[in-house]
Amino acid sequence: MGRRRFLLIFCILAIFVFAIVQCTQVKSKSNDSRGPAYAGSASCVSCHKDLTESAVHNSHFKASKMLTEPGSADSLHIPDGEFVFNEQTKVQVKNRADGLYQSALINGADKKTEHTDMIFGAGNSAYTFAFWYGKQLMQMPLNYLTKGHQWVNSPGFPDNQIYFGRPIVSRCLECHSSFADKKLVQGPNFSITEEYVKNSIIAGIDCERCHGPAAQHVNFHQQNPTVKTANFMVSYKKLALTRRVDVCGVCHSGTAIRTVNSTFGFKPGDTLTTLPQYSAYRGEDPDVHGKQKQLLEASKCYKIGKAECITCHDVHENNKLNAAIYSVKCISCHQEVKHETLKEKNKAILAKNCIDCHMPIKESHDIGFQMSNSKEKVPYSIRTHRIAIYNDLVKNK
């Protein structure tokens, strides 16, 4: 009798423990399209509230956005507008009750109108727009320059006609989103197109895109809340300098990276040098758009181990730093620099602005924006990440 009672109590306890474990595991499960190894960024909030609340407002998290609901673009404050190719050919942009539209007008008649389904860019300089064409994402004719407050013809598009025909390929999404499940579909004449599973796209750069899959990490710490040392998570501090920079370089090495597999699979601790056709720096002048890693690698500050991406950039922070704050970081290592070749009147000013001389704003060789009612193309300007002495600037000072 006592043995039966013992077995009964044991079975009840076993069922109770199993139920608790199951409830705990269910709590950390997500419907993340990347698979069961991923917990989803929402699971990070409970332990990393301050970091996540700041990160969701920074440029990485806002690298793209799906416009799934009416009013999704309202917070971006994108205005109506018009782009003129000529008197007969115009593109009209209109905010309607159900979203943002671009329309092709030929002699005043609406020949094609598409609804904006996705936006690329954090809006610091510009926005790019896309629409669904079946299961393909296609780029819309116009970009919006946020600093210039103007609509422009999308870079690389024909300068004399409206174009709705450029696909958004997976390489774009690999740098502007955290995941997209694609299918390769064979078309006529052996052509291959990329189609996406629409609900698989995770817009923006989320926590696990940079930190790697976190389901094990979340499960462990939910079950062991008193353990404060991170388990099942790569420590950036313990990675070699080159590996830390490589995590950023996945997206900040330009479009020259070509891989057999998607870079969505790249995790902290991996190295870019194993990727086919990775464009390492060889002394050339890389384009300032996208190739920040190669430009940084060309800098003496990096070569001697004194500067890396996170030296200046806090990827969790939303605040925009000014030249004076960046200069403090420079001066922490360059306290003895006297700038003796400079005119005395400029020294006080330059002491609070190192970067305009040593990381000047330069024009992209690859990207230019065509203005409305004009053939003129304004180059895209961005700050170079090659930290150096630029003699042409010194002469002008």
- Give residue-wise pLDDT tens across range 216-273: 999 999 999 999 999 999 999 899 999 999 999 999 988 766 677 789 999 999 988 7
* Two tokens, residue 95: 């905010």
**Residue 267: predicted pLDDT:** 93
Quick one: what percent of the chain has pLDDT higher than 70? 86
| Separation of alpha carbons 3 and 5, rounded Å | 5
Lowest mean pLDDT among 62-66, 120-124, 318-322, 381-385: 318-322
Q: Where is the domain boundary, 201, 224, 249?
A: 201
Q: Where is the domain boundary, 213, 233, 253?
A: 233
Q: Do 176 and 209 fall into the same domain?
A: no
Q: What is the mean pLDDT of residues 173-194?
A: 91
Lowest mean pLDDT among 113-117, 158-162, 285-289: 285-289
Query: Is 203 or 16 the better-scoring residue by pLDDT?
Result: 203
Closest CA to 164 of 184, 200, 196, 137: 137
Query: Is 396 or 273 the better-scoring residue by pLDDT?
Result: 273
Q: What is the mean pLDDT of residues 300-312?
A: 93
**Residue 122: predicted pLDDT:** 93
Q: What is the mean pLDDT of residues 69-94?
A: 94
Q: Do 40 and 123 fall into the same domain?
A: no
Q: Do 49 and 119 fall into the same domain?
A: no
**73, amino acid identity:** A
Residue listed under structure tokens 């018009």: 82
Q: Is residue 183 part of a domain?
A: yes
Q: Is residue 128 part of a domain?
A: yes
**Residue 287: predicted pLDDT:** 81
Q: What is the mean pLDDT of residues 185-198?
A: 88
Q: How far is CA 219 from CA 30, 108, 181, 344, 358, in A?
A: 12, 59, 25, 61, 46
Lowest mean pLDDT among 108-112, 175-179, 349-353, 376-380: 349-353
Q: Do 85 and 174 fall into the same domain?
A: yes
Q: Is residue 295 part of a domain?
A: no
Lowest mean pLDDT among 75-79, 223-227, 343-347: 343-347
Q: How confident is the model at residue 24 (pLDDT cuts 50, 70, 90)?
A: very low
Q: Is residue 15 part of a domain?
A: no
Q: How confident is the model at residue 281 (pLDDT cuts 50, 70, 90)?
A: low
Q: How far out from the chain centre does Cα 170 lie?
A: 14
Q: Is residue 326 part of a domain?
A: no
Q: What is the mean pLDDT of residues 311-340?
A: 85
Q: What is the mean pLDDT of residues 87-95?
A: 97
Mean pLDDT of the chain: 87
**355, amino acid identity:** I
Q: What is the mean pLDDT of residues 160-187?
A: 94
* Two tokens, residue 372: 């409305």
| Separation of alpha carbons 63 and 176, rounded Å | 5
Q: How confident is the model at residue 21 (pLDDT cuts 50, 70, 90)?
A: very low
**Residue 12: predicted pLDDT:** 53
Q: What is the mean pLDDT of residues 194-205?
A: 95
* Two tokens, residue 119: 């936006």
Quick one: what percent of the chain has pLDDT higher than 90? 61
**Residue 334: predicted pLDDT:** 87
Q: Do 127 and 217 fall into the same domain?
A: no
**Residue 192: predicted pLDDT:** 87
Q: Is residue 190 part of a domain?
A: yes
Q: What is the mean pLDDT of residues 120-128?
A: 94
| Separation of alpha carbons 162 and 179, rounded Å | 30
Q: Do 53 and 150 fall into the same domain?
A: no
Q: Is residue 136 part of a domain?
A: yes
| Separation of alpha carbons 114 and 140, rounded Å | 8
Q: What is the mean pLDDT of residues 122-135?
A: 95
Q: Do 211 and 122 fall into the same domain?
A: no
Q: Is residue 134 part of a domain?
A: yes
DSSP state at residue 205? -
Q: How far is CA 111 from CA 154, 209, 318, in A?
A: 19, 40, 42
**Residue 348: predicted pLDDT:** 67
**Residue 104: predicted pLDDT:** 98
The domain containing residue 214 runs over which residues? 34-61+205-233
| Separation of alpha carbons 115 and 13, rounded Å | 57
**Residue 392: predicted pLDDT:** 72
Q: What is the mean pLDDT of residues 379-396?
A: 83
Closest CA to 316 of 218, 215, 236: 236
**Residue 3: predicted pLDDT:** 57
Note whether 199 and 276 are within 8 A (CB): no
Q: How confident is the model at residue 339 (pLDDT cuts 50, 70, 90)?
A: confident
State how many domains the chain has.
Answer: 2
| Separation of alpha carbons 116 and 143, rounded Å | 12
**Residue 286: predicted pLDDT:** 74
Please give the torsion angle defined by the CA atoms of residues 370, 371, 377 and 378, in that order, rounded to the nearest 10 degrees.
Answer: -120
Q: Do 109 and 187 fall into the same domain?
A: yes
Strand partners, 115: 101
